[in-house]
């Protein structure tokens, strides 16, 4: 399940700097997460970094993008061909 950023976002940009999938960018009113690139940090970290670093808890799981861990890992491999994930 990809994460999404709620209206609580104050556009500090901290999450975008932490995202190794480059899934987070500045939108018109808040930062936004590209669900095609978000793996819930599967492959990169043991837990979702954006949710951990956000000062206002704006990143939340997006129920409109439900995916299994295997699907998230497959997405990670598509984004990082040839790389070794932290959670293979
Ligand atoms: Fe918005 Fe939180 Fe990301 Fe800052 S860390 S840009 S407040 S979602």
Q: DSSP string covering the chain, please?
A: --EEE-TT-----HHHHH-TT--EEE-SSSEEE-TTT--TTTTT-SS-HHHHH-TT--EEE-TTS---HHHHHHHHHHHSTT---TT-
Say whether pLDDT at 88 is over 60: no
pTM for the model stands at: 0.92
Say whether pLDDT at 87 is over 70: no
How far away, in angstroms, is 32 Cα from ligand 1 center?
9
Please tell me if the CB atom of residue 56 comes closer than 6 angstroms to any atom of ligand 1. yes
Give me the pLDDT at residue 86, please: 86
Task: State the average pLDDT over residues 8-33.
Answer: 98
- Over residues 24-49, the pLDDT tens digits come to 999 999 999 999 999 999 999 999 99
């Amino acid at each position: 399940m990809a994460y999404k950023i709620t209206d609580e976002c104050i556009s500090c940009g901290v999450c975008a700097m932490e995202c190794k999938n480059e899934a987070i960018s500045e939108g018109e009113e808040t930062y936004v997460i590209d669900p095609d690139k978000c793996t819930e940090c599967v492959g990169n970290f043991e837990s979702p970094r954006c949710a951990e670093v956000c000062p206002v808890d704006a990143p939340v799981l997006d129920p409109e993008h439900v995916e299994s861990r295997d699907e998230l890992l497959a997405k990670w491999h598509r984004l990082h061909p040839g790389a070794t994930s932290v959670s293979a």
